[in-house]
Amino acid sequence: MSDDHTHDHHHDHDHSHLDDTALRVRSLETVLTAKGYIDPEALNRLIDTYENQVGPKNGAAVVARAWVDDEYKKWLLTDATAAIASLDFSGRQGEHMVVVENTPTVHNMVVCTLCSCYPWPVLGLPPTWYKSAPYRSRVVIDPASVLTEFDVSLPAATSITVWDSTAEVRYLVLPMRPNNTEELTEEQLALLVTRDSMIGTGLALTVDHLNNADVATDQLPS
Amino acid sequence: MNGVHDMGGLECFGAINPDPNEPLFHDEWERRVLALTVCMGATGEWNLDQGRFTRESLPPVDYLSIGYYRIWLTALEKLLVQRALVSREEMQQGMCIDQSKTVKRVLQGADVNSAMRAGAPVERPTTQSAQFSIGDVVRVENLNKTGHTRLPGYIKGHLGVVHRVHGCHVFADDNALGTGENPQWLYNIKFEAQELWGESRSQAAHVHVDCWEPYIKMERAT
């Protein structure tokens, strides 16, 4: 464990329960290491990979490329695994990728009703709400009510299609390109692609957000 | 197994409450649990589907209340005890008491990057031809297995249309039994919201679900 003592002071509720869990995890890690089942360096590298290296900025690069390159977009929609791998994103929980395209008439949303399947190589680890019972249960029966909670309302003519990730195929939404972005570079476009827009609980940001200091930084790919 | 993890279509869980400022991990121990689970998965002492079945087999009240990474931790401990890799006493004391067993593989720190980028594809070559084609109308079997399955309850008995043929993939239900991969053709099936839910909700049009061949039967070929 790296910095236990710095994390012992943060909890404002249920203090003893959290400390119990931290101790339990530390004991387990100690035993697994002593038994030679794990390499402690592998733990640190895994955490660094999914905390700092892999995240929604990968997916945003894929989307921005599809927005500027029609040939790439065609490839992405027919063989997403290969098209995404060509940008150097591949691997665990993204071995078999499918990309679904939003249009003025169809809005796509992705869920895993049975657990928490999520395309790690392009989006990183899922947010808590994606893994939670309220989202997993309701999005398949009443997706518009879910979108309301994310402050998204779609035009009346748009219908919603939900993709339930029940096997090892992982889905990524290709959001619609915002209006008035013809002058933007691929790199600037990528800044408009939020994590939620690639799950389907959000839309790509409008061009105003590029220079808006108030934009929630968590919604920008990091 | 019909369990509380199979929650598609329930509406009893309240608001989603997405937190736009949510950290990726809420405590240091969550990082460690993610990494310990991935590392122990890499030993090959159990497979992906056995890991999932262990998590979804936790007591339902626990599954719904202890939180995501405590589900992972509890299932990891259970798998380690089942495989006689670690004893409960060792976990409680945080030290080795019994001799280590030899595991199939140990993920080394230097190999983390390549292992994660390679992932573990589940498509397999087959000499069997696919029984269904795009456009076929199929009915979902009313299967109620006691073991692991990736057939969600909300589609059982319903009609859908074959939307995509993914290929021949490791069959999760059998893989979880530890009796081999038994690869089966995997299809993406498109369901009308009205077929699944009766009166469909505002803007809800379709739900797509990935189904292995044993989950479906022919209703009307194209």
A209: its two tokens: 């957000």
| End-of-domain residue from the set B91, B118, B145 | B118
Is residue B19 domain-resident? no
Q: Which domain holds residue B202?
A: 137-220
Listed by number, the residues of chain B in 58-87 with a beta carbon closer than 8 Å to a beta carbon of chain A are: 64, 68, 70, 73, 76-77, 80, 85-86
Q: CB A92 to CB B119 under 8 A?
A: yes
Contacts of B11 in chain A (CB under 8 A): 137-138, 141-142
Amino acid in the structure at residue A177: R
Residue A132 has pLDDT above 50, yes or no: yes
Contacts of B92 in chain A (CB under 8 A): 27
Residue B73 has pLDDT above 90, yes or no: yes
Q: How far apart are CA A20 and CA A37, in angstroms?
A: 23
CB pairs under 8 A between A and B: 291
B32 and B111: one domain? yes
Task: Give the count of alpha carbons within 13 A of A175, CB side only.
Answer: 25
For residue A210, the model assigns a pLDDT of: 85
Q: What is the 3-state secondary structure of A59-93?
A: HHHHHHHHHHCHHHHHHHHHCHHHHHHCCCCCCCC
Residue B182 has pLDDT above 80, yes or no: yes
Q: How far apart are CA A57 and CA A60, in angstroms?
A: 5
User: Tens of pLDDT along B120-173?
Assistant: 999 999 999 999 999 999 999 999 999 999 999 999 999 999 999 999 999 999
Listed by number, the residues of chain A in 83-122 with a beta carbon closer than 8 Å to a beta carbon of chain B are: 90-96, 98, 106, 111, 113-116, 121
Count of residues in chain A? 222
Within an 8 Å CB–CB cutoff, is residue A154 touching chain B? yes
Is residue B168 domain-resident? yes
Q: Kindly state the average pLDDT of the residues A205-219.
A: 67
Q: How far apart are CA B206 and CA B195, in angstroms?
A: 9
Within an 8 Å CB–CB cutoff, is residue A10 touching chain B? yes
Give A130's pLDDT tier (boundaries 50, 70, 90).
Answer: very high
B33 and B73: one domain? yes
Contacts of A157 in chain B (CB under 8 A): none
User: Tens of pLDDT along A6-62?
Assistant: 444 444 445 555 589 999 999 999 999 999 999 999 999 999 999 999 999 999 999
Burial of B65 (0-12, 13-18, 19+ CB in 10 A): exposed
User: Tens of pLDDT along A192-202?
Assistant: 999 999 999 99
| End-of-domain residue from the set B89, B118, B147 | B118
Question: What stretches of chain B show up as alpha helix (H) in DSSP?
Answer: 28-42, 48-56, 60-65, 68-82, 88-93, 112-118, 172-175, 193-197
User: Tens of pLDDT along A72-97?
Assistant: 999 999 999 999 999 999 999 999 99
List domains and CATH numbers for chain A. 12-51 (no CATH), 55-217 (3.90.330.10)
Beta strands in chain A, from DSSP E residues, in sequence order? 96-101, 106-111, 159-164, 169-174
Q: Kindly state the average pLDDT of the residues B49-63.
A: 98
Q: CB A161 to CB B152 under 8 A?
A: no
Amino acid in the structure at residue A138: R
For residue A19, the model assigns a pLDDT of: 86
Nearest CA in chain B to A220: B20
Q: Which of A115, A132, A145, A159 is catalytic?
A: A115
User: Tens of pLDDT along B15-41?
Assistant: 999 999 999 999 999 999 999 999 999
Q: CB B96 to CB A216 under 8 A?
A: no
For residue A93, give how far its alpha carbon lies from the nearest alpha carbon of chain B (Å): 7
Question: Which CATH number does the domain housing residue B41 bear?
Answer: 1.10.472.20
Say if residues B74 and A8 touch (Cβ distance below 8 Å): no
B110 and B160: one domain? no
Selection from A140, A55, A196 nearest residue B200 by Cα:
A140
Is residue B114 domain-resident? yes
Q: Which ipTM value was assigned to this complex?
A: 0.98
What residues form DSSP beta bridges with A109? A162
* Number of neighbours of residue A201 by Cβ within 10 angstroms: 27
For residue A105, the model assigns a pLDDT of: 98
Is residue B128 domain-resident? no
Question: Which CATH number does the domain housing residue B147 bear?
Answer: 2.30.30.50
Q: CB A219 to CB B201 under 8 A?
A: no
Query: Is A116 one of the catalytic residues?
Result: yes
Total-model pTM:
0.94
Q: Tell me how many domains chain B contains.
A: 2
Say if residues A207 and A184 touch (Cβ distance below 8 Å): yes
Across the interface, of B52, B100, B211, the residue whose CB is closest to A35 is B100
